Amino acid sequence: MLRCLLVDDEPLALRLLTNYVERVPFLELVGTCRSALEAMAVLQKERVDVLFLDIQMPDLTGVEFVRSMRPEALVIFTTAYEAYALEGYNLDAVDYLVKPIAFERFVKAAQKAQDRLAPRGGAEVAPPAPTPAAPVAPTPHPADDFIFVKADYHTQRINLRDIRYLEGLKDYIKIFAGAKPILTLNSLKAFEDRLPSHDFVRVHRSYIVALSWIDSIRKNRIYMGEAIIPIGDSYADAFHKLIEERNMH
C-alpha cells in the first residue's frame, strides 16, 4: 500500500482525486489539504509515500513547496497548466497530470510511483565507506552570529549575515538566506524577539528585513536586489526614524 496525500486548493479537484484513490487497490489516503502549508504540517506527523500536489495555490505554490521543503515523499504534480511540466520534471517529479485528469491517467501515474518505490522493499547494499577526510577546525562564531531552525526534517544552522529578509506565511516563516529560501514552522514575532535589533527590523506585519542588505528605499518600498518589500503604515514612522539616524547629512 502506498500512503498518499492530496494537496489542492480546489474542493472539486480534491473530491475527484479522493474518489480516484479509493478506486486504486494499492493506494491508501492519508488525508487532503487545501494548501502547501497544511501539507507541511501533515508531512511532519505522518508517513507519506506519494504526494499528489497542485502547483497553482495561494501563499506557496507547489513548485516553491518542493524546492524549499524537499519532501521525502514522491511527488506527482497536478495542474491545469502544461507550461509547468518541464519545471516539474526538473524537480524529479514522478509524473505531471494535466487537469481535467482522467482516471486511467491517474492510475498510470500511481503505477509509476509504485514502480519507483518497489526497490525499497528489496535488500539494501551498504555503500562503501568514504575515505576519512582530514579534520577541519570550525570557524569560531560570536554567540549571536547564527541561529538554528527546524526545516526539511532536520535542524539547520543559518548565519545571520546571510539573512536578507524573512516573510511570514500564517504559521510558517520563509527565510531568504542563500540561493533558496528556507521554510520553518514558527512565528515572525519569535524571530523579531530573537534577532539582533541593531540589524533586523520589522517593517511590515509579514516582513523583517536586514538593514545591511538594503539597496535603496523609495517611499514605502524597500529594494533588496530583485525583491521589493513593502513598509506597513504602522511600522513606517519607526523605520524611517531609524534610517534617518544612520543617514549622512
pLDDT of residue 187: 86
CB of 73 within 8 A of CB of 49? Answer: yes
pLDDT of residue 176: 92
The list of the chain residues with pLDDT below 50 reads: 85-86, 89, 120-143
pLDDT of residue 120: 46
pLDDT of residue 64: 86
Amino acid at 16: L
Give the angle 225-227-230 at the CA atoms, nearest 5°: 130
Distance, in Å, from the CA atom of 16 to the CA atom of 24, rounded to the nearest integer, reads: 13
Distance, in Å, from the CA atom of 22 to the CA atom of 17, rounded to the nearest integer, reads: 9
pLDDT of residue 61: 85
pLDDT of residue 209: 96
Q: Is the peptide bond before 100 cis (omega within 30 degrees of 0)?
A: yes
Task: Give the three-state DSSP class for 96.
Answer: strand
Distance, in Å, from the CA atom of 158 to the CA atom of 236, rounded to the nearest integer, reads: 28
Amino acid at 137: A
Amino acid at 10: E
Exposed, middle or buried: residue 37 (CB in 10 Å: 0-12, 13-18, 19+)? Answer: buried
User: pTM, whole model, 2 decimals?
Assistant: 0.52
Q: Which cell numbers in the block locate residue 6?
A: 492530496
pLDDT of residue 153: 60
What ranges in the chain are assigned the alpha helix state H? 11-23, 36-43, 62-69, 85-90, 103-117, 188-194, 233-245
Task: Give the three-state DSSP class for 244.
Answer: helix
Considering only CA atoms, which of 63, 51, 62 is closest in space to residue 117? 51
Considering only CA atoms, which of 238, 222, 241 is closest in space to residue 230? 222
10 CB neighbour count, 10 Å cutoff: 16
Distance, in Å, from the CA atom of 59 to the CA atom of 133, rounded to the nearest integer, reads: 43
